[in-house]
Amino acid sequence: MSQSADQVKVDRAWTTTFFTPIALALLLIGYPAFRMAVAYGDLFPASDAAQWWNLWGVVLVGHWICAAIVLTAIAGERATLASIGLDVGVFIRRRALFLIVLVFAAGAAIYAPGYFYGETLPSEMRSHPLGPVTSAQRFFWIAMAVTAGFVEEIVFRGYAITRLRRFVGLPAAMAISIAAFALMHGPSAFIPQFAALYLFSGSLFAGLFILMKSRRLEILIIVHIALDMLLVSAP
């Protein structure tokens, strides 16, 4: 497959260094392995509602550690965020729109528990066994949705595909990033219906990233955030 002039320009905007393979190994092998260990190690049992905060708090911290790894690797490569297809200026220029979305999400976090459950809150969410139930959990989930949207797209699309394609070619780069994205979701990646969802969404987002010539990662971030944010207003 021949590269377009735009893709060649993006691909040459960074230099392979020892940071690159280390970052790829940590992000695509280390982080999914960590998520599996958290679940299979039974550190935060899914059946114990009291551990909800610990579980998602660890995931949140893990996301931002991944972001730090990417930023460190990009700096080591003497590159910029443009090399992974990201223009952060979009979020600054559209800040009023994003603020409105956050206000509506906050309103849903406040009123959804009473609307769906009345005065007696269940131990777990109906829509998702590990989803947010209380208003406090739903507020936290807003932060989780924003974090997941940014970090997972930066890691599994922006960084993984643009860097791996130089080492193993585009088809293998896409396959590895999709598999890592699925495994990052922990044991649910081995449940057929969830595995199908993760593989489909990972393939769709990776395909869109390629169709956009490895640019405009912010579009995928916005869509990802919006999808994850749906749980804030779900029963």
Which pLDDT belongs to residue 1? 41
As a whole number of angstroms, the distance between CA 193 and CA 189 comes to 9
Listed in sequence order, the residues at least 6 apart from 118 whose beta carbon sits closer than 8 Å to its beta carbon are none
Which pLDDT belongs to residue 2? 43
Mean pLDDT of 91-99: 90
pLDDT tens readout for residues 104-132:
999 999 999 999 998 888 888 888 888 99
pLDDT tens readout for residues 203-227:
999 999 999 988 889 999 999 999 9
pLDDT tens readout for residues 145-202:
999 999 999 999 999 999 999 999 999 999 999 999 999 988 888 888 889 999 999 9
pLDDT tens readout for residues 8-31:
555 557 888 889 999 999 999 999
As a whole number of angstroms, the distance between CA 217 and CA 225 comes to 12
pLDDT tens readout for residues 129-138:
889 999 999 9
Q: Has residue 47 got a pLDDT over 60?
A: no
Q: Has residue 38 got a pLDDT over 80?
A: no
Number of Cβ within 10 Å of residue 161's Cβ equals: 21
Residue of 32, 39, 35, 70 lying closest to 162 (CA atoms): 70
pTM: 0.89
